[in-house]
Amino acid sequence: MIAVEGLRVEQSDGVMTLTLARPERKNPLTFEIYAALRDGFLALRENRQIRAIVLRGAGGNFCSGGDVREIIGPLVSMTPPERSAFTEMTGAVVAAMRACPQPIVAAVDGVCAGAGAILSMASDIRVGTARARVAFLFVRVGLSGADMGACALLPRIVGLGRASDLLFTGRELSGEDALGWGFFTRLVAPEALEEEATSLARSIAAGPTRAHAVTKATLELATNLPLEEEIAYEARVQAELMATGDFRRAYEAFIAKRAPRFEGD
């Protein structure tokens, strides 16, 4: 992952932290940030050093979506092929997030709107605060909710009726409601958000990396397979994982009454 203006990249203990860092504008996205995220998440498919990811925003907000001056304005005057290239690029960010094997933890505080809400949606786990405000704003600018995979992914998280509510109205979802609807998996105080998300990512990074990658990929696959085929697939991949060093070491640690040490092999 390459840092660009408005996107900080840090690595520590197998965890990559991506910070949307334009706090004076509530961390909006630019063409350059979209491209960096797309290419960076694609590259993570081959990265064995990074085992979990934290996606956060700076200055008390997550992300306000596409920058009005740098993206929305130019889109008005673009040609149809240019607009198509843009929407394909933004969709590719979500596809790359879902395809990268590392679990992604989104730390959501304050504004989480438009494409920012999509980035949190595309993460695997969302930790939020009570003051978070999640909104899929596309209808407010005359666009559909069919953006960056929202119609496919959001119903899987909150259910079809609630996804329809959010996408048709563009209304804000409070932090408490986001927790109640299952969009957030946990709610913490704003001052504890970074520590909570990082701690969660580190605990995932300390786990069986290959097994986590299989879990993430299978959760994606499960939506497209009949149950019988899904069960057969899970049986096959689980049997393969039983031949790994991590599985053997976990057994030996259990017998020795100590914590296992996973190495991702």
**Number of C-beta neighbours around residue 100 at 10 A:** 22
Question: For 209-255, CATH number?
Answer: 1.10.12
SS3 158: helix
Q: In the prediction, which pLDDT does 66 show?
A: 87
Q: In the prediction, which pLDDT does 205 show?
A: 96
CA dist 247 → 121, 210, 214, 250 (Å)? 31, 11, 14, 5
Q: Which stretches of 91-244 are assigned E, i.e. beta strand?
A: 104-108, 111-113, 125-128, 133-135, 173-174, 186-187
- Which part of the chain has CATH 1.10.12? 209-255
User: Using CA atoms, how far apart are residues 64 and 68, in angstroms rounded to an integer?
Assistant: 10
Residue with tokens 């609630």: 162
Which secondary structure element, helix H or strand E, spans residue 196, and what is its range? Answer: helix 193-205
What pTM was computed for the model? 0.94
Q: In the prediction, which pLDDT does 72 show?
A: 81
Q: At what angle do helices 160-169 and 150-158 cross, to 10 degrees?
A: 130
138 in Cβ contact with 147 (< 8 Å): yes
Please give the chain's pLDDT, 265 residues, in tens. Answer: 888 999 999 999 999 999 999 999 999 999 999 999 999 999 999 999 999 999 999 999 999 998 888 888 888 889 999 999 999 999 999 999 999 999 999 999 999 999 999 999 999 999 999 999 999 999 988 889 999 999 999 999 999 999 999 999 999 999 999 999 999 999 999 999 999 999 999 999 999 999 999 999 999 988 888 889 989 989 998 998 888 999 899 888 888 989 888 988 7
- Which part of the chain has CATH 3.90.226.10? 7-205
Give the CATH architecture of domain 7-205: Alpha-Beta Complex (3.90)
